[in-house]
Amino acid sequence: MTAIGETPALPLNLHEYEAAARELLSPMALGYVSGGSCDEVTLRANRAAFDRWRLLPRVMRGLRETSTATTVLGQDVSLPVLIAPSGLHRLAHDEGELATIRGAHGACTIHTLSTASTVPMDIIGQEGPPWWFQLYVFSDRGISRDLVEQAAAAGASALVVTVDVPLLGRREADERNRFSLPDGLVMANLQTPKHMLIPATEGGSGLRTYIGAAWEPALTWDDLDWLASLSPLPVIPKGILHPDDAVRAFDHGARAVIVSNHGGRQLDSAVASLDALPAVADAVAGRGEVLLDGGIRRGTDVLKALALGARAVLIGRPVYWGLAVGGEDGVRHILELLRAELALDLMLCGLASPAEVTRELLVRADTPVTR
């Protein structure tokens, strides 16, 4: 326990952030943030996949320091970790997505603002670049077009299009808690009460009812062409797991893809995103950048994803933990923890920067090293 006047110790790592946030979030917010779909097989698989790889470090390389800096779609970032799009940040902190982008900018990286943001994007735009906008495509195509145009006008520098939510996965925590958006919170980028609010429904999750009524379930690759034609923003489909889908994405003008299973919140028993990554990276064969999210909690997780072909990774749940514990400072701190871990891990591997990470860094955990 912290004595009066004493500053509480900051969490040492992302796991401690999670433990602290669990004490602070309301039961409904906690269920929304932590939950996966159904039996959470994929949620657990996302973490377990990292444990199946070990690192094979090199020594005596005369390194005195390392740099974690890189670029993503030509944009400078101080570490290969971006903020994944995630909705309703004001459930975790009053300042919501404004605190998130300030934290991201404090750590010199990119925030991806969700369609389901609780802060309007013109306010986010006033923080300056870089930030990306994530689109959920509405059945009413006019709404989708307006959102893309608003994002381009507000200064977003890429359009992430989420493609793995034809319907919402069965998130039982939200069903149990009868998830609804608390009074005073709205989805601030939408214009009508019908689209801004997530009311409680008779039993079950209000979010599921909302999405079933408003979002387009029947997307096709032609829609990607249409979305790309609406603005000059580079388009990045998110939620790709199959290598052939990654190839199709680039055939339809994508500039990058995000390998993701939505943090285990959509199809339960879907493959872990790290396990999907190598085949996607091979199939894409340098036509564009491959990004990954799902289960990133340590610097070594970042290293493993880079070694398997990711240009950078994104984090989802840890952002809410940072917000709950410390708002903008909490978000910046979780990114700084990851940066410090990655800098140390690079040094211990004998590598000077993310650009030097290759597949040779990895060995399967149950396989002896061969020459």
Ligand X SMILES: Cc1cc2nc3c(=O)[nH]c(=O)nc-3n(C[C@H](O)[C@H](O)[C@H](O)COP(=O)(O)O)c2cc1C
CB of 218 to ligand X, least distance (A): 18
> Which residues, including other chains, have CB under 8 Å from residue 115's CB and lie 6 or more apart?
85, 87, 133, 134, 135, 136, 147, 187, 189
Q: How far is the CB of 134 from ligand X (least distance, A)?
A: 5
Q: How many helices (H) and strands (E) does the chain have?
A: 14, 12
User: What is the residue whose two structure tokens read 């990895």?
Assistant: 362
- Toward ligand X, which CB reaches closer, 87 or 309? 87
Instruction: List, in order, residues 6 or more apart from 194 with CB less than 8 Å away.
Output: 214
Which residue lies nearer to ligand X by CB, 85 or 278? 85
Residue with Cβ nearer ligand X (293 or 345):
293
CB of 313 to ligand X, least distance (A): 9
> Residue 41 Cβ, how far from ligand X at the closest point, in Å?
14
Q: 310 near 30, Cβ under 8 Å? A: no
Q: How far is the CB of 84 from ligand X (least distance, A)?
A: 3
Nearest to 91 by CA among 116, 62, 59: 116
Residue nearest ligand X, Cβ-based: 316
Residue number, 168 or 351, with CB nearest to ligand X:
168
Whole-number minimum distance, CB 262 to ligand X, in Å? Answer: 5
Please say if 262 is a catalytic residue.
yes
Catalytic residue among 93, 105, 111, 262: 262
| DSSP of 151-209 | HHHHT---EEEE-S-SS----HHHHHTT--PPTT---TT--SHHHH-----SSS-HHHH
Q: How far is the CB of 196 from ligand X (least distance, A)?
A: 15
Q: How many CA atoms lie within 13 A of 335 on its CB side?
A: 35
Which one-letter amino acid corresponds to residue 16? E
Q: How far is CA 23 from CA 27, 185, 321, 361, in A?
A: 9, 21, 10, 38
For residue 130, give the H/E element and its range: none
Contact residues for ligand X, defined by CB under 6 A: 32-33, 46, 84-87, 114, 116, 134, 162, 238, 260, 262-263, 265, 293-296, 315-317
> In terms of CB distance, is 70 or 134 closer to ligand X?
134
Tell me whether residue 219 or residue 351 sits nearer to ligand X (CB atom). Answer: 219
Which residue number, 162 or 209, has a Cβ lying nearer to ligand X? Answer: 162
Contact between 34 and 24 under an 8 Å Cβ cutoff? The reply is no
Q: Could you tell me which of 193, 366, 215 has the C-alpha nearest to residue 223?
A: 215
- The tokens for 39 are 């039996």
Exposed/middle/buried for 53, CB within 10 Å: 0-12, 13-18, 19+?
buried
Known catalytic residues? 262
